[in-house]
Structure 1
Amino acid sequence: MPRFGFVRISSVCLRTAIADPAANVAEITRVLEQLPDSDIVLFPELCVTGYTCADLFGQSRLLEAAREQAQQLAERMARRQQLIVVGLPVAVDNGLYNCAAVLFQGRVLGLVPKQYLPNYQEYYESRWFRPGAASVPAEIDWSGERVPFGVDLLFQAEDVVVGIELCEDLWVPLPPSAFQAVAGANVLLNLSASNETIGKNRYRTDLVVGQSGRCIAAYAYASAGPTESTTDLVFGGHCLIAENGVLLAESPRVGDGQGLHRDSYFITADVDVERLRNDRRKTTSFDACAAHLPRRYRTIPFALSAELSGLRRSVSGTPFIPQDNAELHRRCAEIFGVQCAALAQRVSRLPDDAPLNLGVSGGLDSTLALLVAVKMCDYLGWPRTRIRGLTMPGFGTTQATRQNALDLMEHLGVAAEVFDIRPLCCDAFRALGHRPFGIALESLSAAELQAALAHVPPHEFHDLVFENVQARIRTLLLMSRGFVIGTGDLSEAALGWSTYNADHMSMYNPNCSIPKTLVRFLVRYVAEHEFEGAARETLLKIVATPISPELLPLSAEGTSRQATEASLGSYELHDFFLYHFLRNGFSPRKILFLSQHANFTQAYSRSEIEATLRTFYRRFFANQFKRSCVPDGPKVGSVSLSPRGDWRMPSDADAQAWLDSFAP
């Protein structure tokens, strides 16, 4: 398959034979045979000899054997289009260096020495090694060739640029990987020998994940394991792969409760270099750090294969929804906290007795907005009756949603009112000279029009004036009462699924950056964790109700004949597209590719996914004019469509270039 910017990395914990380079290289070879499709394979620090050789590092025979075996390894892998990184001691002039050797297609491309040598507590590396510094020679002799040597080496295959540091280098205040990233490296590798002590694994993981985020890079870490000498220490064998602040893969380790792993093992993940490049491009402060680079870097070329088999990476079908159960409660509390704080600040500018008006339809969005308003009142010690919920049934409102709205307001203890908008709508139709679906109004009452509308066949359901009048009457009634809390969500804004200057408008909208899939998730979460009895039952009924604006006529039986997802496609798909289009800047072809590997909550055919993606692009481009004038509201996640913040786009832009790029 095409790469779509993915690079496959494996981090290995090696079964080590201490001071036996031949045995270690044989084991490295055995592991590599299990990783034929990895682009980069990373082994631990000093893995060719073992990290715990101590004063044996002063033995010429050990150093000679290490170099011989590393060269043999390179030659054995000559037919592999694979970057292999191993650790070994390298003697240069009067010094000995703890190095990473970079092997590719039978050659040693370069040697990167460790810059920061720990020499405190249990570490004594300065007893044997010298730190890599700018004063080391730029090249050394290696098996009859001149091989680049130094801390200024980067390795590049088109858009993939690899930087390397060793163990302690990451733990210092200014890690070499930070400078490598600013110099262009987007894949950072760390060969390590990190011993295991109580609680150290968490700090180590935070270091790796945090550095990947600060550097907007992939960061792979491979540590020596429990077959190193245990004379004084136990090495954990912890391997990690992170990408821009997210942990993609983690290995077992000593002390994790999963038993002992004495044989070699590895983790593999596909990192997305295209996403990293897009993120760096958007983070305009990133390149400003180049003024602080301590040196110029040399770049050594290598090559990746043209294609990648499969995808070794989890792709969430619901990227806006928290995936980690351990983080679930904290994340939901955080979302509500941001919404409540934002609404509280805006409301604080109103008179103390100003009512907070909110249209409650019995649907998901108004339910979430009402829950936020109630929680805000509770936080601030205000009576919930300051919130005035108004439910406004129209020609498409079912008895079920109307009852859900009334029950919800009763359970939450807010002031509630019902206003039937149908008579006002009839007056508006007459004033406009409009015949809804061709029906002559003349002296028809609202109830008589409702009965006549039940006979309109679904294939004739196209009357925007009929829908827009209802939406605008509702907004008129709300705004005429004072301050209005908006309810529209991020997905509706992206697709333009709102009536301009109707449900599109309010005085403040706490939902504006919450996508539909997250709205549903949050309402369900609140129902299951914060309510019991009848209130929980009502909230779960709302979650289970098919999404609909309920603007088109009901059937003769009083059931809704309008389902949003039947018109637009699944919101799960639209939110998936929205995330990767806005957050990552991906092309339609890459989004389609990711959708084939995503863990959606239901199965979708390729044709359904592609048709929905086309709908997404058409509607997104056609509806920027609505997004250019929306009420204030808080940014909650990494994606927002506020024209004052994250998204500024001309209203007359054309989607054709995106639509033309779909694979045939």
Structure 2
Amino acid sequence: MSVLKIAGAAVNQTPLDWEGNFNNIVSAIQEAKEAQVEILCFPELSITGYGSEDLFLSYWYPRKALVYLQKTLPFSQGITVCLGLPVRLQSSVYNCTAVIEDGKILGFVPKQFLAYDGVHYEFRWFTPWKAGEIISFDFFGQEIPFGDLIFHKKEFRYGFEICEDAWQGEKRPGFRLKEKKVDLIFNPSASHFAMGKSKIREDLIKGSSRILDAAYFYINLLGNESGRMIFDGEAILAQYGKLLVKTPLLSFKSYQLIRYDLEKNAPQATALRAKHSKKEEFTQAASLALFDYLRKSRSKGFVLSLSGGADSSTIAVLVAEMVRRGVEELGTPVFLEKIHRSKDIDPKTSIKDIVGHLLTTAYQGTKNSSNDTLISAQTLANSIGAKFHHWLIDDEVTSYTQKIEQAIGRDLTWKTDDITLQNIQARARSPIIWMLANINNALLLSTSNRSEGDVGYATMDGDTSGSISPIAAVDKHFIIQWLKWAEKKLGYRGLKGVNSLQPSAELRPLEKHQTDEDDLMPYPVILEIEKLAIRDKRSPIDIYLILKDELSLPGDVLKGYISKFFRLWSRNQWKRERLAPSFHLDEFNVDPKTWCRFPILSGGYKEELRELEELDE
């Protein structure tokens, strides 16, 4: 029985890091050759990185990618290697997989369907290839087949679907590969991480192996490549509709290799059973994203305004998890080397001490802050090993307030100036925490979440200040549930105080008993409205008709919540435009730079909300 030794290599690449990307590729090839692998497939755009943005539009960038493909040829002796790169043909750029073997190029296969929804803008850079078309491409004086190709290795015929190609139903290239009786289909991908997506992807690949009557091998990119999107490094092999191989997600390594001995006409093997947990996936993705952002920006660590509340506490724990997971997978010396701290942090130091080197926190209290949140913040910081500072900003708030009162000739009061008096407290915290970040040559972590982004419940230049916003794509309801899970399942006992508190901005006087949900609406309700309004793009009336049977709320109350959501959403687009870069972590987000564009100026759903109010049931 013929056996083909195949492998996939998930690589953590960085745009414009030509040598770093090349070294990752070569290291993976060498490891595969040592394991006697015969075909090694890398992910989509593995030479350049997927997140190269408008660099793809230049003439020099695709050309340089070809130069690095040429540099890889000597390493393909005795092995077939499939590499992703952009290729320019006159005025068009194509997203291609190049197949190289024994120092030669066998051909280029361009992507036929481009991703254009959600976080993807591939039509800006690339042109889709026409099915069935094959031309000749001049590769440094050699004529190479370019187009809808299949290849042979031993007794196996193999071909490619590149990422989005596989999601096209009856139009997908795989059906033509099936007609050509291929035994193996590779899917080199740059498929962004989202909680729950691994299960969807797994089902697609198992189904593909069954309906296309071929072994189906999917290989994804790895890591926070260029700032926003995270790739989980997933590699999945399926045959006869059954899962055969699946890599652990979200490795901290530079590359991750997975191998399999594929038998032609083999009997059905025992299927694997994969576990899926959104809370665990969120933890892995966010901690890896922080790790990559830290090392790729060559920053010395993180600074966080730790309020003792849910959002900032979540971020503190994610930094601690970044250290714990990174050290456990890589070992302390390699972990410190990757974050450029091997010279000033002892490799024998504990995980808790490393957190102290990397995370500095500060509780910035006012007369409106409670002792409960101070204790909550200090307890958590101490429990994970973070540096903790505590200072009051009342003098700064008073100074600003007195100046404006003198300028306008009247006193500010909570009755007439509520928002102003709240916001000045949040903004007064920003300059000093930025000072600490600058002193430490560190990244300032912004603490706003997606639910706050929806309704503008965040102070510009206050809690939105930061270099990176790790949880801006995650809803507050999920965060509250995750914190309880992290306390019990991950063992962060320092979260006990956080989990006992009701979320509050603590910007009004304590006797007013301010809570977030009183200011807005219950967070689970925000989530349900948000999913229908933003993810599914439903109108206010549609949302009401859907939710009135799902939520146990009086009709007038539900109408009020929906109206409030849309009014605040429309009014606060300018805030979302200014949020710090955030990680894409869920099935959708509200970042206009990556997922949801909305006009800054609009009529604010005035007519649609009037129709909702007048709806007679």
Which TM-score applies when normalising by structure 2?
Answer: 0.49
Which TM-score applies when normalising by structure 1?
Answer: 0.46
Larger-Rg structure: 1
